[in-house]
Structure 1
Amino acid sequence: MIIDWLKDFSPVTQALFATLFTWGVTALGASLVFFFKNINKKVLNAMLGFAAGVMIAASFWSLLSPAIEMAEQSGTPSWIPAAVGFLLGGAFLWSVDKVLPHLHLNQPVEEAEGIKTSWQRSILLVLAITLHNIPEGLAVGVAFGAVAADLPSASLAGAIALAIGIGIQNFPEGAAVSIPLRREGFSRFKSFIYGQASGIVEPIAGVIGAFAVMSMQSILPYALSFAAGAMIYVVIEELIPESQQGSKTDISTVGAMIGFVIMMVLDVALG
């Protein structure tokens, strides 16, 4: 059983293994470029909606809810860490969004956000998905770091459930990078390399998150809420708008509903 196997490692190592898994699923999604040159717009919208649903559910069930419970157990008014951490997480992603050059799907290069640069469109597309993956890796790392606090609201099974959920929604994100690059004329191999590279930040963010909360356990409720705020910022700022482009966007909503339910079931059943 994977839980028994992971128990032999420190939370930081556990976070590293978990985020290597989520990165691997990103690469698996990017590998679709070896089989397809184009992706149906409705399918892409459904996949992006699914990713949004997973992230929304994970933000509450895996991050905010445990943060509130931990604050209650410490005697702190439960809403303070949740509200402060959540807003700080959103502010952090807002700041990165304004600085890091990136380009959303289906947008002309002239509409790239962040600091103006002459970087190629391909790099800007990869950086947009990389921006998604910062809070995802951080969330997984913080969840595993929380297990070291030995609190009832933080369990190894729950952290694993979060990693599985993030991994599932990384699959369409990998494809959402590699296939458009192939359509723009890149080779299949180069498109794959760029697509999987968007997930490399997750192990880095995961290790940092786990180490930070283990070193300063008093910030744990804030750290969990911070990761939740960063994820919700990505959902509202990027995933939902991108999934609603084109006609018949109801499929995006259905995808989001399914993603939410799957992540909720994972967290409740395993956590």
Structure 2
Amino acid sequence: MDLNVSNQLLDEFAQLVKKNQAARKVSEGEKLKVGVDLGTSSIVLAVLDHEDNPIYGNFQYADVVRDGIVVNYIESVQILKKLKAQAEEVLGVELLSASGAIPPGTGENSQKIVANVIGDAGFIPQAIVDEPTAAAKFLHLDDGSVIDVGGGTTGISNFQDGQQLSVFDEPTGGFHMSLVLAGAKGITVDEAELLKREAPNEKEIFGVIRPVAEKMASISKQYVVAKEEDPVLLVGGATNFTDFIPTFTKVMKRPVVGPHFPQFVTPLGIAMYDQGELDE
């Protein structure tokens, strides 16, 4: 694993998302890989070339998933169709296939629902993988652990010698931080979700939600089996607070590191599973 390389790719992808532009002109007939991340607070579309370099990215805030389960199927499809159309307009080519992901342990039915959303949005559904494993694939992690803090759940995946040893999922995530923030501020959960995105208030907000982060870290500590010399990586959109990683490091009593733009690690890893052919 080379975190510097991963960070460079994440920086490039974040710029593509910000500017809503392609990294370069796409050749006719060129194979592109697409990843779809149906998150609790947003849907992210990531497009890579055949060498896994970012080509295009976009996202839309959405309230269609709860605890890793799609609860608004129609809106999920509509948003993904819109993202697909925007990508195709910018790239000048049709996107044919896409992979997706689910939190660990949410079951075969959850896999089918995600595959159906992808299919009904106009893609050929590819692999549906668990989220922390997708993150580990992008990070090229052979030894260590990935903690993926999503909107509804926290997933932990452990690796040794390039093989997955174990994977776990616990129902605590960004949505639970929003619940605590809403209660403390006397506002709605939707208002709290918007408040979390306001960078100027980061210190104050994290002071309120710190106990939730500490709970996530305590849960993760139980499931991480990485050796002391192996890395523990923290990813996921809910971790976009400066004090998140120091809090995990303190509670877990071991170094925890995080890549740039942690919200984009998993969708980029998901895209790497798109091989452009129907799974048997």
More strand by share: 2
TM bucket (normalised to shorter chain) is: under 0.3
TM-score norm. by structure 1 comes to 0.25
Structure with more relative contact order (C-alpha pairs < 8 Å, separation 6 or more): 1
With structure 2 as the length reference, what TM-score do the two structures score? Answer: 0.24
